[in-house]
Structure 1
Amino acid sequence: MTKVAISSDNHLDVNRVDLEATLTAQAQYLRSIAADYYFHIGDLFNDFAQTQDYMQQLQQRLAGQTRVYYLAGNHDMMNHASFDQLESLPDAHYLHNRFIDLPGSQWRVIGNNGWYDYGFSQYADQPERVASWKRVYWLDSTAEQPMSDPERMQRVLQQVRGRLLQAQADGRRVLFLTHFAPRHELLAPRPARVNTPRHEKVFEMIQAMLGSDRLGELLESFPNVSYVAYGHLHNRHPALSRGHVTYLHQAVGVRNRRVNEWQRATFIEQWQATLRVLNLSSKNDH
C-alpha cells in the first residue's frame, strides 16, 4: 500500500503565510499521516524560483519518509520561468511531462502542467478576440510563450498521449496530475450576478482560461487511467466520475481582505481539510 497526498493552489505569497511555520507544519502533518508521496500540482507562489526553493526545503525536511514532487500552475509561471525552463527543468522533483512508478504496485503517476484552449467559453470560435482580452486583463499573459494558447494545449495533448501510450504498453494503472481543469463539467455553476452583457463577457473570457475538454476526452480514452487530480478552480468542487475515470480537486484557495475561499480558520487547517489522500495498492485502492 502506498499513501499519496495531493494539494494545489496553496498560494503561499497571496495568503501571506509564515513560510517557516508552514514548512514545519506541512512536514509534521505529512509525517503524521505517513504519506509516502506528496504532490503539489500548481500555484504555490507567483514566482517559479520561490516554488522550486520551497519544495526543495520541504523535501529536505521529509527526507527518508515522504517524496515530494510538484507541477507549475499559471501563477508559478508569472516570474522567473522561461518557457524552455518550464518544459525541461533539470529537477528530479519537477513532474511536468514526466512520470514515476510507485514501488510494489502497478501504479504510475504521470504529471503535466496542462494549459487551456478557450473551449470552455462561448468565444471558443473567436480565438483572436480571447487572446486580445487576455493580453490586457489575464495574469498569466506575462508568462513567456512562443505560441498561441490553442497551440500550447495541442502540445500538452501530444505529450500526454505519448505518456499514456507508454503506460498502457507497460501495463501500468495511471494517476494523472495536472493543474488546469480537464472537463467543463468540473467548473462552478454560472453565478447569478452574471446578468448583464459586460458581466457575461468577462465571465466567458475567464471560462476560456480554465482548461480543456480535449484533455479529459484523451484521458477517458485510455482504460488504464483511474484518477485525475487537478487544481486551478479554487473553492470546493466534488469528485466527478466519468466511466472509469474519477476527477479530484484539492485547491486550498485564497483568503485576503477581498476574498475568502476557505472553509477553515487558518491556512494549515484549510490545507489539511482540502488535502487529497489516496491509498494505492496493486489490487485495491480507497
Structure 2
Amino acid sequence: MRVAFSTDLHFDVNHLTASDYFQAQKDYLEQHNISVYVLGGDTFNDFQATVRYVDALQAFLGNTVQLYFLAGNHDMVKGVTYAELESFDHPAYLHHRVVSLPGTDCALVGNNGWYDYTLAPAGQGKTAEDYFRWKKAFWIDSAIDSPLSDMERMNRVLKQVQADLATVAAQRQRALFVTHFVPRQDFLIYAGDRPYWNMATALMGSSRLGGLLAASPVVDTVVFGHLHHRDAPLLAAGQVYLHTPLGYGLKRAWEWQSTDFMTEWRNTLMIREIPEK
C-alpha cells in the first residue's frame, strides 16, 4: 500500500481555485498507486472551506483513493471553535484518531497539534507571557479560538497522542503519525538578526511532542508541515521524519521552486510504501 501526504497547500492564500486541479491530482494519485492521501493542515484559512474541499475532492476521487485531513493553524482561524476542533465528526477528519490501514500492520495516527514555546531559541530570555503577548499582537493565531493556555492546550495534545500510540501498540501495529506543527528542533532555523522570526519559533510546535514520538517504539514515520521550507527525509533512531510543505507562491513570499502548482504539489508529495501482509 502507498500512502501520500501533503501539507500547507494554502489554496486561498495562493489565489488558486482548488477544483481546477482535481483531475490532474486524481490522475497522478492513480498512476502512482496511492491508496490513501492525507492533508496535514493549512489547506484554507477557513475550516469550513477545508471541509468542503475535502468532501468535493473525495467525491471526485471516488473509491480509488481514501482522503484524510487535519487542521493547521490557518484552517483554525475561521469557521470553527476549539470545542468543535476536538469533537468534529467527519469520516475524513484524522485528529485524535487511529485508522488501521487494511492489509498492513500499520495505522495512521493523526493530531492537529499545537505549541508550548519549547522550540524557541535558548537564551532568548522571554517568558511564556512574553510569547503569548507577542502572539496576540503580531501572529495570525491570535484569531484562533483557544479557551486554554498554549501550555494547557499542548498538554492535552500530548495526552491524546500518548493514548493513541498506546492503542497502536495494543493492536501490535506501527504508526504513521501525522500532525501540522513541528515536533523537533532539528528543523528550526534561527537567525540572530531576525528577532521577529525568533519570537515566532516559539509558536512552531513542541519539542515535548518530539520527545514523546522518539520514545515510542511503535512510531515508524512522522509527517508534519507548518515551516515553509523543505527538508530531506530525516532518519532518527529508526524513525523517518518527512517535512516538505508546499507553501506560498506569491510575489511577496515566493517559496516555490517553479511557477506551477501541480509541479510544486508533485515535488512536495510525501509518499510511504507500506508492506502488505
TM-score tier after normalising by the smaller chain length: over 0.9
- More displaced 10-residue stretch of structure 1: 66-75 or 255-264: 255-264
- Counterpart in 1 of 2:139? 138
Of 233, 237, 242, 2:227 maps to: 233
Task: Tell me: CA distance 1:124–1:269, structure 2 relative to 1, closer, same or farther (3 Å).
Answer: farther
Equivalent residue pairs, number = 275
Q: Is the 8 A contact 1:45 1:51 kept in 2?
A: yes
CA distance in 1, matches of 2:125, 2:168: 32
Instruction: Output the CA distance in 2 between the equivalents of 1:151 and 1:224.
Output: 26
Can you list the C-alpha shifts for 1:89-129, whole angstroms capped at 9, x where unaligned?
11010000012111111101100000010011145860001
RMSD of aligned Cα (Å): 1.3
| Alignment TM-score, normalising by the size of structure 2 | 0.96
Matches within 5 A, 1:261-272: 261-272=255-266
Structure 1 residue runs of 5 or longer lacking an equivalent are none
Q: CA deviation at 1:27?
A: 2.1
Which residue number corresponds to residue 190 of structure 1? 190
Aligned residue in 2 for 1:273: 267
Listed one character per residue, the Cα deviations across residues 240-279 of structure 1 (whole Å, up to 9, x for unaligned) are 1220211101210101121110112201110001101111
Q: 1:205: which partner in 2?
A: 199
Structure 2 counterpart SS, 1:56: helix
Displacement of 1:224 in angstroms is 1.3
Residues 41-92 of structure 1: CA deviation (Å, up to 9, x unaligned): 0000000000000011110111111000000000000100111111111101
1:187-225 CA-to-partner distances (Å, cap 9, x unmatched) read: 2x334xx42xxx32x122111010111001101111111
Sequence identity, in percent? 40
Q: 2: distance between equivalents of 1:95 and 1:127?
A: 29
Conserved 8 A contact 2:190-2:198: no
Q: Which residue is 1:167 aligned to?
A: 168
> Which deviates more from structure 2 when the two are superposed, residues 16-25 or residues 90-99?
16-25
Match for residue 52 of structure 2?
53
TM-score by length of 1: 0.93
Q: Secondary structure at the match of 2:2?
A: strand
Q: Which runs of 4+ in 1 moved over 3 A?
A: 122-125
- Ranges in structure 2 where 5+ consecutive residues have no aligned partner: none
Q: 2:182 is matched by which residue type in structure 1?
A: A
Q: Which residue of 1 aligns with 2:216?
A: 222
> Counterparts in 2 of 1:1-286, with a 5 A limit?
2-121=1-120, 122=122, 123=124, 126-187=127-188, 189-191=189-191, 194-195=192-193, 199-200=194-195, 202-282=196-276
Q: Distance in 2 between matches of 1:274 and 1:159?
A: 28
Change (3 A) 1:206 1:143: same
> The residue matched to 1:168 in structure 2 has which SS?
helix
Partner SS for 2:254: coil
Q: 8 Å contact 1:113–1:178 — kept in the other structure? A: yes
Q: What CA distance in whole angstroms lies between the structure 1 residues aligned with 2:40 and 2:2?
A: 17
Instruction: Determine the C-alpha separation between the residues in 2 that align with 1:15 and 1:203.
Output: 22
Greater shift, 131-140 or 231-240, is seen at: 231-240
